Structure 1
């Protein structure tokens, strides 16, 4: 592997997925593994993680997917996780950040500042720790990628989503700063690694459709389509995707 993209597949790529315990995590794990990647999943919930890993491994025909409980609010623990991956596999080629959470209110005056405390941890501090922990390893990779999944609300906050939108916007800014680091350290040849933001309105999956059969989910992104978009980041050059927002839902 001598270029900065994995056109045609992810054979041999080593990719970590943070916040992998939900439906989006299962879809991303399965898609990356089917492309030939060695996928290491992390989540704070042991049962959710085990279920997602087992389901994704089954869906991908017994592919190489493992799981590990990691406290992503602990920088040292996150650094240890990144170091173990690189030591065990000889490289680390990606970190997909799926850690999510939502808090909102009926109106702006009803905003609970406690919601900010929760979202600050989930949506910002986890990005800070994973980006710092994986930065050097991704720079050493021939095609390192840091992929953040964000929300359209970060660019167009609504009255009841102040804490959520502000948290997402902060996470985006942090990720773009990571991309600037990759650019500056990449030298004259451009960045070898890339930090990219995938922007959605919201996610939908088969279980949610079954729960709400009459809902239209207009503008929502299916988790399988998200997984395709995640995998495609490795098919494109670092120069093309570094420091960019890729809109999966057209901005309104």
Structure 2
């Protein structure tokens, strides 16, 4: 299945859903908050940068009057803090129908010999530990939902690492493996009837947004995915039956 099938416009399935977004303060997070709110979801956002998060939450509320969009600072490196966030969200809204994982970071170099293991230490925390914390915290509540989705955004470099991005590619590959394991847990929980929840991976080469284009007006950003397109694909994961997206990589860029 390719990503085109996972995209949707006016995703009615999102109406009334409660969706948590981790790493919501960046450009991709802002676009995602807007799209989920537009679809009628209650959006519960978190990030490590409170000021940027507040701006993103306010923007989504302003764009969609009446939308419930909240934000709080959560240390996703702390499994207990992630679980407390999930518990608070379920207690307040009665359900959780999705977790969108947008926590990102990048370190790279010119070659493998110049790589620093400090880069691995940095990326392991951001790209792997946060996936572990959120998946463990949200697994049960997503399984209780009739439309539970765990959505990871990954990079094509995980499937085709280069000498200069070894730490990044390895971190992304590990995050993908953990997410696919979550998908297997959902599959087993569904039994013969099939999974009611799904863990899916959206794969991009890299992301681009308007500020990047303004800073580099002559750049082509070939193969990059606009954050608005990513947000549309994220919303579309709810349009497709769980069994069709669970444990799948959905490519928004040509597959290497």
TM-score (normalizing by structure 1): 0.96
Q: Deviations over 1:67-103 (max 9, x none)?
A: 0110000011100000111111110000000000000
Give the CA deviation at 1:7: 5.9
Q: Deviations over 1:168-199 (max 9, x none)?
A: 00000000000000000112110000000000
Q: Considering fraction of residues, name the structure with more helix.
A: 2
Q: Which residue of 1 aligns with 2:192?
A: 188
Equivalent pair of 1:17/1:98 in contact (CA under 8 Å): yes
Q: Which residue of 2 aligns with 1:227?
A: 231
Q: Runs in 1 of length 4+ with deviation above 4 angstroms? A: none
Q: How does 1:168-179 map to 2 (within 5 A)?
A: 168-179=172-183
Bigger RCO of structures 1 and 2 (CA < 8 A, at least 6 apart): 2
Give the CA deviation at 1:10: 1.1
Question: Is 1:206 the equivalent of 2:177?
Answer: no
Please tell me the root mean square deviation across aligned C-alpha atoms, in Å: 1.1
CA distance in 1, matches of 2:187, 2:153: 20
Give the CA deviation at 1:251: 1.3
Give the CA deviation at 1:61: 3.3
CA distance in 1, matches of 2:139, 2:79: 13
Aligned to 1:63, what secondary structure does the other structure show? Answer: coil
Equivalent pair of 1:7/1:236 in contact (CA under 8 Å): no
Q: Which residue of 1 aligns with 2:100?
A: 96
Match of 1:61 among 42, 61, 65: 65
Q: How does 1:68-107 map to 2 (within 5 A)?
A: 68-107=72-111
Question: Is 1:216 the equivalent of 2:220?
Answer: yes
Structure 1 stretches of 5 or more lacking a match?
Answer: 1-5
Q: How does 1:22-171 map to 2 (within 5 A)?
A: 22-171=26-175
How many residues align structurally?
Answer: 247
Aligned to 1:188, what secondary structure does the other structure show? Answer: helix
Aligned to 2:214, what secondary structure does the other structure show? Answer: helix
Q: Which residue of 2 aligns with 1:3?
A: none
CA distance in 2, matches of 1:176, 1:9: 23
Structure 2 stretches of 5 or more lacking a match?
Answer: 1-9
Aligned to 1:192, what secondary structure does the other structure show? Answer: coil
Does the C-alpha gap of structure 1 residues 9 and 142 become closer, same or farther in structure 2, counting only changes over 3 Å? closer
CA distance in 2, matches of 1:62, 1:104: 42
